[in-house]
C-alpha cells in the first residue's frame, strides 16, 4: 500500500491537501493508497507507524513545503526510516524540488520527485512494483553510491487531461472554514506554473516559464461540484498565476454567471496583467463573485523590479494604476511586496518602498499590503542569485541544519537574516507594518471587532501622519491583546 502524508502546515484554517489529492487522482483504481493529514494529528508518528505496520505500506510519499512542513517532515521521516528500514520514502513538492540534493543526500529520503507529480509518480510506483525500471522514471533524483542521479523532467501534463480529484479520500468537511470570503471556504488549483521568470520566485526553477491552465468550462464543472455537492460559498484559487489568460478568466466568470453559481472568490495575479484586462472583464469578474486579488507588486522602484527580473510591463506606475482600477470596480487588491533584495543601498531602497506603500494606500485605502522580506531561492544563472552567492550566502548542507532556528523560519520570509540585511532594516519594516496595520486593519481578520478596529486606528493615526514608526510598543500591545492577524491569507 502507498501512504501519502501532508505534514502540518498551519495551526488553523486547514487547506485541502491538493498536492496529495492530485497524486491520488492518478493512483485511483490502480493502487491501494491513503492520505493522512498531519494538520489533524498531534503526533503523526504513532499513527503512521501503526498504518505502515498494519497495512503493509511499502511507499511513503511526503509533500514538503519549506517552513512548518519541512520542520515536521525531517524528524518524522528520520524516525520512520529507523523503525521501518525497508519503507521507501519519497519527497515531492516545493522544498525538495528546489533543494533536491540536500534532501537526496540525507539517509532517510530515498527519492525526490521534482515538479509536477501526476505524470511521473505512477511511472515511479509501477517501477517500484516491478513494472518498469527506476532508471526510466522521469523527474526523479536519488543517490547511487556516492553520486546523486537526476533524471530529466517529462513535459508538463495539461490540466485539461488530468482526472478529477478523489475528494472521497479526505473528510472534506474538516477543510471547510470561515474566511473573509465566506463561511464555507474551500481551495482549488486550476493551472501549473507561470509564464514569467522572477528571480526571487520558487516557481521558476520548477516550471521554467511554462504555464498550462484548465479550460474555463472544466474549471466551472469542478467548482460547481464544490459549491453544489460540498456547499462551498467561497473559493480560494491557489494557482501561482490564476489570471494569466484573460480569455480563460472571462469565460470562467461567464460560466459561473450562466450556471448561477453563487460563491465569492480570490486568486493570485500580476498587476501588469490585470491592468491590461478590459473594463468589461473586470465588471464580469465582479458580477461572478470575485472579492480579492493577491498581486505580486514586489516594489514600487523600477530598478528593483528589473533587478528581480519581474518582466512584463510591471512598473511602479502600472501597480498604482491597477490599484486604482480595483478601487473603481470594488474588488480588493492585496499587494504583496518583497523588501530587502540585495541593492547598492538597501536602506534607501526600503525607505523608498515604504513611501510607495503609502502612495498606494492614498490611491486605494482598501488595498491590503503584505510585506515579505526577500529569502533567496536557488536560481542558478539569475543575476539576483549571483549577488546572493557573492555576498557569501550559503544554504544549509544537511536537512538537520534546516531545523536550526535561523533556518527554520527562513522561508517564512519575515526575518531571513541574509548577509546584506542588518537587523535594523528588518526592525524598521516591522515597525512600519505595525503602524500601517493599525491604521488600516486587514479585512481578512474576520475575528477583529469593530471597536477593536477603531481603537487600533486611533492608536496608529498620529504615528502614520507624522511618519513616526519607531518603537510602536503601544500598538504592538494592542495587536497582541486583540490577537491581530497580519493581512495575508494565513501563512501563505
Ligand atoms: C496551499 C498553500 C499553502 C497552505 C498549506 C497547503 C498544505 N499542503 O497543507 C498554507 C496556507 C498553510 C501554506 C503555508 C505556507 N506556504 Co504555501 N502554498 C500553498 C499554495 C498556494 C498551493 C499549494 C498547492 O496545493 N498546490 C497545488 C498542487 C496540486 O500543486 P503542488 O503543491 O505543486 O503539488 C504538485 C507537485 O509539487 C508534486 N508534489 C507535491 N507534493 C508531492 C509529494 C510527492 C510524494 C510527489 C511524488 C510529488 C509531489 O505533485 C503535485 C501534483 O502535480 C502554494 C503555491 C502554489 N500555487 O503551488 C504555496 C507555496 C507552496 N507556499 C509557500 C510558502 C513559502 C509557504 C510558507 C512556508 C511561508 C509563507 N509565509 O508563505 C507558509 C508556511 C505556513 C506558516 N505558518 O507560515 C511557497 C513555497 C516557496 C518556496 N520557497 O518553496 C509557495 C510556492 C507560494 C509562493 N509562491 O511563494 N501554503
Ligand atoms: S509572476 Fe508571480 S508566480 Fe510568476 S514567476 Fe513572477 S512571482 Fe512567480
The three cell numbers locating residue 50: 501503526
pLDDT in tens, 217-235: 999 999 999 999 999 999 9
For ligand 1, whether the C-beta of 9 sits within 6 Å is yes
The whole-number average pLDDT for the span 108-133 is 98
Test site for ligand 1: of 3, 7, 9, 388, most ligand atoms within 8 A of the Cβ: 9
For ligand 2, whether the C-beta of 270 sits within 6 Å is yes
State how far the Cα of 40 lies from the Cα of 399, in Å rounded to an integer: 24
Give the confidence band of 12 by pLDDT, cuts at 50, 70, 90.
Answer: confident
**What is the radius of gyration, based on Cα positions, of the chain?**
23
Domain locations along the chain? 2-150, 176-417, 422-492
For ligand 1, whether the C-beta of 184 sits within 6 Å is no
Handedness of CA 107, 111, 114, 118 (dihedral sign): negative
Test site for ligand 2: of 189, 196, 297, 305, most ligand atoms within 8 A of the Cβ: 196
Give the confidence band of 488 by pLDDT, cuts at 50, 70, 90.
Answer: low
Q: Which residues contact 96 (CB under 8 A, 6 or more apart)?
A: 64, 103, 109, 112, 113, 114
For ligand 1, whether the C-beta of 189 sits within 6 Å is yes
pLDDT in tens, 179-220: 999 999 999 999 999 999 999 999 999 999 999 999 999 999
Residue 382 · residue 199 · CB < 8 Å:
yes
Give the confidence band of 410 by pLDDT, cuts at 50, 70, 90.
Answer: confident
**Ligand closest to CA 194:** 2
State how far the Cα of 134 lies from the Cα of 151, in Å rounded to an integer: 10
In the predicted structure, residue 491 carries a pLDDT above the cut 70: no
Q: Residue 489 has what pLDDT?
A: 43
CATH class of 176-417: alpha beta
From atom 69 of ligand 1, which residue's Cα is the shortest distance away?
412
Residues forming beta bridges with residue 186, ordered by sequence position: 235
For ligand 1, whether the C-beta of 67 sits within 6 Å is yes
pLDDT in tens, 292-335: 999 999 999 999 999 999 999 999 999 999 999 999 999 999 99
Q: What is the CATH number of domain 2-150?
A: 3.40.50.2300
Q: Residue 443 has what pLDDT?
A: 80
Mean pLDDT of the chain: 95
pTM of the shown model: 0.96
For ligand 1, whether the C-beta of 65 sits within 6 Å is yes
In the predicted structure, residue 460 carries a pLDDT above the cut 90: yes
Amino acid at each position: 500500500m502507498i501512504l501519502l502524508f501532508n505534514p502540518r502546515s498551519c495551526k488553523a484554517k486547514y487547506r485541502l491537501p491538493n498536492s496529495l489529492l492530485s497524486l491520488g487522482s492518478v493512483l485511483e483504481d490502480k493502487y491501494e493508497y491513503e492520505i493522512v493529514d498531519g494538520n489533524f494529528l498531534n503526533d503523526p508518528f504513532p499513527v503512521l507507524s501503526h498504518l505502515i505496520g498494519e497495512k503493509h505500506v511499502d511507499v511513503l510519499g511526503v509533500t514538503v513545503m519549506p517552513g512548518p512542513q519541512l520542520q515536521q517532515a525531517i524528524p518524522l521521516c528520520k524516525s520512520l526510516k529507523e523503525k521501518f528500514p525497508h519503507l521507501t520514502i519519497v519527497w515531492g513538492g516545493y522544498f525538495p524540488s528546489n533543494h533536491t540534493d540536500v534532501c537526496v543526500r540525507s539517509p532517510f529520503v530515498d527519492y525526490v520527485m521534482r515538479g509536477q507529480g501526476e505524470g511521473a509518480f505512477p511511472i515511479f510506483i509501477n517501477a517500484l512494483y516491478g513494472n518498469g525500471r527506476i532508471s526510466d522514471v522521469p523527474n526523479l533524483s536519488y543517490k547511487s553510491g556516492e553520486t546523486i542521479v537526476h533524471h530529466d523532467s517529462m513535459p508538463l501534463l495539461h490540466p485539461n487531461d488530468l482526472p478529477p480529484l478523489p475528494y472521497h479520500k479526505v473528510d472534506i468537511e474538516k477543510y471547510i472554514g470561515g474566511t473573509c470570503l465566506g463561511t464555507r471556504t474551500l481551495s482549488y488549483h486550476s493551472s501549473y506554473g507561470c509564464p514569467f521568470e522572477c528571480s526571487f520566485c520558487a516557481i521558476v526553477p520548477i516550471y521554467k516559464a511554462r504555464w498550462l491552465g484548465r479550460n474555463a468550462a472544466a474549471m466551472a464543472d469542478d467548482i460547481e461540484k464544490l459549491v453544489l455537492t460540498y456547499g462551498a460559498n467561497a473559493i480560494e484559487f491557489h494557482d501561482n498565476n490564476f489570471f494569466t489568460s484573460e480569455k480563460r478568466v472571462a469565460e470562467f466568470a461567464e460560466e459561473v454567471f450562466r450556471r448561477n453559481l453563487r460563491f465569492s472568490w480570490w486568486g493570485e495575479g500580476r498587476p501588469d496583467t490585470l491592468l491590461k484586462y478590459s473594463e468589461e472583464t473586470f465588471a464580469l469578474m465582479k458580477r461572478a463573485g470575485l472579492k480579492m486579488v493577491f498581486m505580486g507588486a514586489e516594489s514600487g522602484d523600477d530598478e528593483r523590479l528589473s533587478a528581480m527580473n519581474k518582466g512584463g510591463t510591471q512598473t511602479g506606475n502600472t501597480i498604482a494604476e491597477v490599484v486604482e482600477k480595483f478601487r473603481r470596480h470594488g474588488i480588493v487588491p492585496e499587494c504583496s511586496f518583497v523588501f530587502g533584495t540585495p541593492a547598492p543601498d538597501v536602506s534607501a531602497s526600503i525607505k523608498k518602498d515604504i513611501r510607495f506603500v503609502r502612495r498606494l494606500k492614498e490611491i486605494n485605502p482598501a488595498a491590503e499590503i503584505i510585506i515579505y522580506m526577500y529569502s533567496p531561492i536557488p536560481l542558478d544563472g539569475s543575476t539576483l542569485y549571483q549577488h546572493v552567492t557573492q555576498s557569501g550566502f550559503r544554504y544549509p548542507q544537511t536537512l538537520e541544519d534546516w531545523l536550526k532556528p535561523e533556518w527554520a523560519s527562513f522561508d517564512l520570509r519575515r526575518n531571513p537574516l541574509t548577509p546584506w540585511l542588518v537587523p535594523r532594516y528588518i526592525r524598521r519594516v516591522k515597525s512600519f507594518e505595525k503602524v500601517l496595520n493599525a491604521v488600516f486593519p486587514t479585512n481578512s481578520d474576520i475575528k477583529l471587532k469593530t471597536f477593536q478596529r477603531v481603537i487600533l486606528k486611533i492608536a496608529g493615526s498620529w504615528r502614520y501622519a507624522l511618519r513616526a514608526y519607531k518603537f510602536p510598543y503601544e500598538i504592538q500591545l494592542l495587536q497582541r491583546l486583540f490577537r491581530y492577524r497580519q493581512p495575508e491569507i494565513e501563512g501563505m
